[in-house]
Amino acid sequence: MDGKLFDSELKVMGVLWNEGDCTAKHISDVLKEDIGWNMNTTYTLIKRCIKKGAIERSEPNFMCHALVKKEEIQEEQTNELIDKIYDGSADKLFAALLGRKKLSSEQIKKLRDIVGELDD
């Protein structure tokens, strides 16, 4: 993929990640309903994603297919956040997340499981 996806482009990708391959019109309909975008705005963003190599277009009906996985983008964005805000220190990010709110016992268990997997 060529270049970073911006927040607006991630909204387009989110529709594809949630719903699978679909037409540009369907993406436009979903985003009009969710955030009020008009068709031209959505089509422009789809074309940007195509140019960056994040979406593949096919006919008929301007069918769109995500070429990048949500997990890849999440990892890329997380690494960027860690580098930019937490001086490259994942433990600082982890501490900040833990300090933000009271965690449920279920969330604490999930975090322990994740940390335990890292020790293996």
Indicate yes or no: pTM above 0.75: yes
pLDDT digits (tens, 9 = 90+) for 83-99: 999 999 888 888 887 77
pLDDT at 30: 98
**Do 42 and 36 meet the contact criterion of CB atoms below 8 Å apart?**
no
How far apart CA 48 and CA 52 sit, in angstroms, is 6
Domain residue limits, the chain: 7-66, 89-120
Q: What pLDDT is stored for residue 120 in this prediction? A: 61
In this predicted structure, the answer to whether residue 32 has a pLDDT above a threshold of 90 is: yes
67, 55 contact by CB (below 8 A):
yes
Q: Which of 21-25, 43-47, 72-76, 88-92 comes out lowest in average pLDDT?
A: 88-92
Q: What kind of fold does domain 7-66 have according to CATH?
A: Arc Repressor Mutant, subunit A (1.10.10)
Mean pLDDT of all residues in 44-67: 97
* 80-105 CB burial, b ≥16 within 10 A, e <16: eebeeeeeeeeeebeeeeeeeeeeee
